[in-house]
Amino acid sequence: MVENNGTGWETWEGLLRDSNVTNCKEIIAQAEVLGETLANLHKDLAAFSRESQQYTLLVLDCLQFRIVRLKELIANELISSLGRQFSVVIDKLTKLEKSLDGVGLGWQIRIHGDLHLEQVLKTNTGWRVIDFEGEPLKSIEERRNYNSPLKDVASMLRSLSYRIHSLKVPESMAIERLAQDGFLNGYFDTYDRLGEVFLPEKSVCSLLLTLFQLERVLYEYTYELKYRPDWIDIPKSGLQRLLMENT
């Protein structure tokens, strides 16, 4: 048992209820600590991956396979709901694939695999990460696959977005940007201090984070269409913001 003050989902509700863009120092501070916690976790998982001799380079073929699956998901399940945005999403994925060709993509390590705010606990000293069983709808074999640690980073960025927009807080877009920037600063600053080498250079990290967030948001879009249509605006707006980012 871990003594805690609630999950991240619960904790962020309390932080966000009283927030505004001119008074959210605690939101930024907690996001930074959460990013630092994840970077330290990835350091330990990278060490485990090296010891088990499964520390491998991420290659473009792996990303191309995932992009093909995303395009199939869009064509089979999302084409009617996306409407004119369909071709924009396909074009974005194609541009990302081209931009990632011929560059170093970093390493694949053991990752959490299903990281979101319900998978972290707030303690008196920081954050603890729990539930390492991976995404429940995937096979055990898929869950065991090593992956880019940036997949966890992207998943938490999407979870922060969900928490902020689910509460319909005022100035939610600005607060989301502050929280996500705080999280990324905490993660990358800690990574740099640790002297680790499992990530690619920063410009490539940015491209991979966009790709992995698109991957996450498209599955969110599919889920909400099927089970919670009242929540569809959250992944819809998230998708729109990602499409506007430069590749």
The pLDDT of residue 23: 74
pLDDT grade for 247, boundaries at 50, 70 and 90: low
Percentage of the chain beyond pLDDT 70 is 99
Give 121's DSSP letter.
Answer: E
Q: What is the mean pLDDT of residues 146-172?
A: 95
Residues 46-66 have pLDDT tens digits of: 999 999 888 999 999 999 999
Instruction: Kindly give, in sequence order, each residue whose CB lies less than 8 Å from that of residue 241, ignoring residues fewer than 6 positions away.
Output: none
Classify the C-alpha dihedral 158-160-166-170 as positive or negative: negative
Nearest CA among 108, 70, 16 for reference residue 211: 70
Q: With a threshold of 0.85, does the pTM exceed it?
A: yes
Residues 77-102 have pLDDT tens digits of: 999 999 889 999 999 999 999 999 99
Statement: residue 245 has pLDDT above 90: no
Q: Where are the beta strands (DSSP E) in 61-163?
A: 107-108, 120-123, 126-129
pLDDT grade for 17, boundaries at 50, 70 and 90: confident
